[in-house]
């Protein structure tokens, strides 16, 4: 969009800049969205899940060792999957 500042005037210029900023920042913020994912602190287990319940279900189904620490966004939460499995 090309326009002449003198033609549009000073009052409308900040408004157009604001519209441009909002449209470009949405694209930028879309790339920075932080995903909240649960996983295990294990070198060979690469799966991630949105909920803790999904993680526990996958560990039970896949036969994964439940004695690994659960991670949330890559940081350990000092809990193991075995604590969430009822026998």
Same domain (yes/no): 49, 75: yes
Whether 51 and 84 have beta carbons less than 8 Å apart is answered as: no
Shared-domain flag, residues 51 and 72? yes
Q: pLDDT tens across 74-83, in order?
A: 999 999 999 9
Using CA atoms, how far apart are residues 61 and 25, in angstroms rounded to an integer?
Answer: 42
| Number of domains making up the chain | 2
Residues 46 and 13 in one domain: no
pTM score: 0.61
Please tell me whether residues 15 and 45 are part of one structural domain.
no
Cβ count near 51 (within 10 Å): 11
Residues 27 and 65 grouped into a single domain: no
Q: Tell me, yes or no, whether 79 and 42 share the same domain.
A: yes
- pLDDT > 90 fraction of the chain, expressed in percent and rounded: 55
């Amino acid at each position: 969009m090309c326009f002449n500042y003198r033609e549009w005037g000073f009052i409308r210029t900040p408004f157009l800049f604001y519209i441009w900023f909002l449209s470009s920042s949405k694209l930028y913020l879309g790339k920075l969205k932080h995903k909240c994912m649960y996983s295990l602190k294990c070198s060979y287990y690469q799966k991630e899940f949105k909920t803790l319940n999904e993680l526990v279900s996958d560990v039970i189904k896949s036969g994964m060792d439940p004695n690994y620490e659960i991670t949330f966004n890559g940081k350990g939460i000092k809990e193991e999957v075995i604590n969430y499995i009822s026998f």
